Amino acid sequence: MNVLIDASALMAVLINEPEKSHIINLTKNCNLLAPSILPYEIGNALTRLKKSRVLSDQEIIMAYNEFKKIPLRLLNVDVESALIIACKYLIYAYDASYLEIANRLNLPILTLDGLMKKIALDLKLKILE
């Protein structure tokens, strides 16, 4: 099964959040897909943790190297469609990029982001929980 996974779910795995095991179990035997911006979003999330003194430089690099081992297929976004979603729901374009792909390809989405789940439901998308 193809599943669109967002940065919130992947970050939970990378930094050993309580949801890690559940996310790994949900995605076994799945093809993970994400927008091509995902590596930048992961990098941004990791550096935010450095700024807040949660992770050291070495831990950030180790986490990013673990991220690179996850088999993901990165997809191009229809930016205009993502912008339409972003404007309709008053969210950032990078968040809308996940919803655009899930909507266009009729993919279930795996996210820990409450607002993303709410919008996905409004768009009649399936949420993997």
Taking each helix axis as running N to C, give the angle between helix 38-51 and helix 57-69, from 0 to 180 degrees, rounded to the nearest 10. 160
pLDDT single digits (tens) 22-65: 999 999 999 999 999 999 999 999 999 999 888 899 999 999 99
Asked if residue 99 lies in contact with residue 78, where contact means CB atoms within 8 angstroms, the answer is no
3-state secondary structure of 35: strand
Asked if residue 128 lies in contact with residue 106, where contact means CB atoms within 8 angstroms, the answer is no
Beta strands in the chain (DSSP E): 2-5, 31-35, 72-75, 109-110
pLDDT single digits (tens) 71-85: 999 999 999 999 999
- Residue partners of 60: CB distance under 8 A and separation at least 6: 46, 47, 49, 50
Q: 128 phi and psi, to 5 degrees?
A: -85, 120
What is the average pLDDT value for the chain, to the nearest integer? 96
Give the pTM: 0.93
Overall size of the chain counted in residues? 129
